[in-house]
């Protein structure tokens, strides 16, 4: 299998802007759950860049549980992400939801994200395999390790070797967090695969105060990067405000992380 350590012994390294995923450093991707306005993304991008984030994140197409929730700004949101790149120099990560909008997302993104709900959308995975940009493949919320790796295999088999795996918590019976961060999957994946594996503590936690210790634990564990949601006005956020860090909290977190790993 292309994903396996047998196929490739050395770790795959993926370079985007100043970040390298897979070389022992831990670049941090930060930004809001959703792109809401130009002012919002520019303000957050400047703050996270100052704190040491190497990439900016923000969804223009949002996979919401309810069809009545904010669905994202679509193409307009992608244009705002382009402005973020132009004004801050930060590369941008954004989610693709379907094959129909793939070309549009690919043109605007530096890294294309496939979300937990699409981990086994095989037509989308095959299209991602034809993309010229790296892919962040989030783990399905109930996916086993082998299912996740086989999803990555779909992308690689079509010719795209630049896949970054992202653990974002799995569905369990607990109520104190939105999902349960499966810390053990990080070393387990690294044993099976040469691909970089990053952690998203925000969607695992679901509440902002839990995000910080989970980020530190992921750093200690050897994660190849982190993805953290940050919002300048979380109480007014159109999605995931409760798990979004305030900019000053993010800055403090980056300082803590720097004591554990090479982040900046
Ligand atoms: C997100 O990154 O905002 C997101 C929707 O993540 P997930 O697919 O992990 O729920
Ligand atoms: Mn989110």
pLDDT tens track for 53-69: 999 999 999 999 999 99
Question: Quick one: pLDDT band at residue 116, thresholds 50, 70, 90?
Answer: very high
Question: Which numbered atom of ligand 1 lies nearest the CA of 116?
Answer: 8
Q: Mean pLDDT across the chain, nearest whole number?
A: 98
Q: What is the average per-residue pLDDT within 91-117?
A: 98
- Atom of ligand 1 lying closest to residue 59 CA: 3
Ligand 1 centroid from CA 203, angstroms: 7
Q: Is the pLDDT of residue 264 over 90?
A: no
Q: What is the mean pLDDT of residues 147-176?
A: 98
197-199 and 111-114 as β-strands: parallel, antiparallel, unpaired?
Answer: unpaired
Confidence of residue 85 (pLDDT cuts 50, 70, 90): very high
pLDDT mean over 19-46:
98
Share of the chain above pLDDT 70, in %: 100
% of the chain residues with pLDDT over 90: 99
Core vs surface per residue 186-214: b (16+ CB within 10 A) or e? beebbebbbbbbbbbbbbbbbebebbbeb
Alpha-helical runs (H) found in 91-242:
102-108, 122-129, 145-157, 185-192, 201-205, 208-221
- Please give the pLDDT value at position 74: 98
Tokens describing residue 193? 């695969």
pLDDT at 231 (0 to 100): 98
Tell which residue, 174, 189, 247, 183, has the closest CA to residue 215: 183
**pLDDT tens digits for range 165-218:** 999 999 999 999 999 999 999 999 999 999 999 999 999 999 999 999 999 999
Q: Is 33 in the pocket of ligand 1 (CB under 6 A)?
A: yes
> Under CATH, which number does the domain 14-29+94-259 receive?
3.20.20.70
Closest residue CA from atom 3 of ligand 1: 33
- For the segment 216-225, what is each residue's pLDDT rounded down to a tens digit? 999 999 999 9
Q: Residues with Cβ < 8 Å from 261, sequence gap 6 or more?
A: 25, 26, 219, 220
Model pTM score: 0.98
Cα of 6 vs centre of ligand 1, distance in Å, is 31
pLDDT of residue 223: 98
Q: φ, ψ for residue 261 (rounded to 5)?
A: -145, 170
Q: Note the pLDDT of residue 159.
A: 98
Residue 262 has pLDDT above 90, yes or no: no
Strand partners, 94: 112
Question: Beta strands of the chain (E only): which ranges?
Answer: 14-16, 19-21, 28-31, 55-57, 92-95, 111-114, 135-138, 163-167, 197-199, 226-229
Tens of pLDDT along 36-56? 999 999 999 999 999 999 999
For a ligand 1 pocket test, name from 30, 32, 56, 63 the mutation site with the most ligand atoms within 8 angstroms of its C-beta.
63
């Amino acid at each position: 299998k292309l994903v396996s350590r047998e196929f490739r012994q050395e770790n795959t390294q993926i370079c985007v802007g100043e970040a390298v995923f897979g070389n022992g450093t831990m670049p941090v991707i930060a930004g809001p759950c959703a792109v809401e306005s130009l002012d919002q993304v520019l303000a957050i991008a400047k703050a996270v860049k100052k704190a040491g984030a190497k990439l900016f994140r923000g969804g223009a197409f949002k996979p919401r549980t309810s069809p009545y929730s904010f669905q994202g700004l679509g193409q307009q949101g992608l244009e705002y992400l382009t402005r973020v790149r132009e004004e801050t120099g930060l590369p941008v990560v954004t989610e693709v939801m379907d094959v129909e909008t793939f070309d549009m997302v690919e043109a605007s993104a530096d890294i294309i994200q496939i979300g937990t709900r699409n981990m086994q959308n095989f037509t989308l995975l095959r299209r991602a395999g034809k993309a010229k940009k790296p892919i962040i493949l989030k783990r399905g919320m109930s996916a086993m390790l082998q299912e996740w790796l086989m999803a990555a295999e779909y992308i690689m088999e079509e010719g795209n070797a630049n896949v970054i795996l992202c653990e974002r918590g799995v569905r369990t019976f607990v109520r104190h967090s939105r999902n349960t961060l499966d810390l053990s999957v990080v070393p387990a994946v690294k044993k099976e695969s040469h691909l970089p594996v990053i952690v998203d503590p925000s969607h695992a936690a679901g509440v902002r105060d839990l995000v910080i210790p989970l980020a530190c634990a992921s750093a200690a564990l050897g994660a190849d990067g982190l993805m953290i949601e940050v919002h300048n006005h979380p109480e007014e956020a159109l999605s995931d405000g409760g798990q979004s860090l305030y900019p000053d909290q993010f800055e403090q977190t980056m300082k803590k992380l720097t004591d554990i790993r090479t982040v900046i």
